[in-house]
Structure 1
Amino acid sequence: MKRADIARLTALERKALMEELAAMVAIGELNLGDASRILRGTMLGMDRKTFARVVKLSTSVIAKLEDEPDANPTLETLNKVFAPFGGKIALTFPRLEAPHPPDDAEKQRREMLRSALARSKRQRRRSTPP
């Protein structure tokens, strides 16, 4: 999924994609850093420096969140990172019933998100000096 693909989506399709991203985080398929990387890079097409300036955080805070799986950001940091997308950090509890299996549209959105994350990580590795 590329920035141009996102631009072609309707507002409802973009919302469904972001909801799918949140669902993947909720079930542990993605972490918050992965979600941040996808939203920043694919939805906004911003590099870390520009995004950090927009959300009033340091570039190193964004890098740590996105690159370190054991990062432990504050709630304030997470709220700043997800605010441009209408996201808020909230307390939720697991459902008692098993979640429904994803339908074809959900599977397609999840695959788009996974491929966007993989592409973003490859680009980051290529642009990071040895």
Structure 2
Amino acid sequence: MRQRVSKHVQPLTTGEQTTAINILTKRLMMEEITQGVALRELRVRVLGLRQDAYSALVGVSRKTLSEIENDKGNYTPEIINKVFKPFGLKVGLVPTSSQVLSAILLN
């Protein structure tokens, strides 16, 4: 059984999960939040899982997961892809200019 972050937090519906993933992905792409913050928010808000349960799910150590969520360490794209895979996300190229990215997202 997976350990939830809190027994008082109700799980999100599939639609709510999709909305939360989209919002956090956009904030990450617009550099409003870091990769670590995005991962922590996705893990907690979308799946509601504790670090130990999520690290077992994605096949990385809890220490690695903690370091990624705290924006520490320098992990390979393969590791980053593993931790973001449950949310349908992977490492990719994005414009470095937020103005260019905004224009792309608006079109």
What band does the TM-score fall into relative to the shorter chain? 0.7 to 0.9
1:16 is matched with: 19
- The 1:95–1:10 alpha-carbon spacing in structure 2 relative to 1, beyond 3 Å, is same
Matched residue count: 95
Question: Matches of residues 1-130 of structure 1 in structure 2 within 5 Å?
Answer: 3-4=9-10, 7=12, 9=13, 11=15, 13-67=16-70, 69-93=71-95, 94=97, 97=100, 99=102
> Given that residues 65 and 71 in structure 1 are in contact (C-alpha distance below 8 angstroms), is that contact kept between their aligned partners in structure 2?
yes
Aligned-partner Cα distance in 1 for 2:102–2:44 = 29
| One-letter amino acid matched to 1:88 | K
Q: Percent identity?
A: 27
> Given that residues 3 and 42 in structure 1 are in contact (C-alpha distance below 8 angstroms), is that contact kept between their aligned partners in structure 2?
no
Q: Which runs of 5+ in 1 are unaligned?
A: 101-130
1:30 CA drift (Å): 0.6
Aligned-partner Cα distance in 1 for 2:43–2:24 = 13
Higher normalized helix content (fraction of residues): 1
| One-letter amino acid matched to 2:92 | A
Q: Which has the higher contact order (CA 8 A, sep 6+)?
A: 1
Q: Which runs of 5+ in 2 are unaligned?
A: 1-7
Tell me the TM-score normalized by structure 2: 0.74
1:10 CA drift (Å): 5.1
Tell me the TM-score normalized by structure 1: 0.62
Structure 1 segments, 4+ long, off by >4 Å, are: 95-98
1:87 CA drift (Å): 1.2
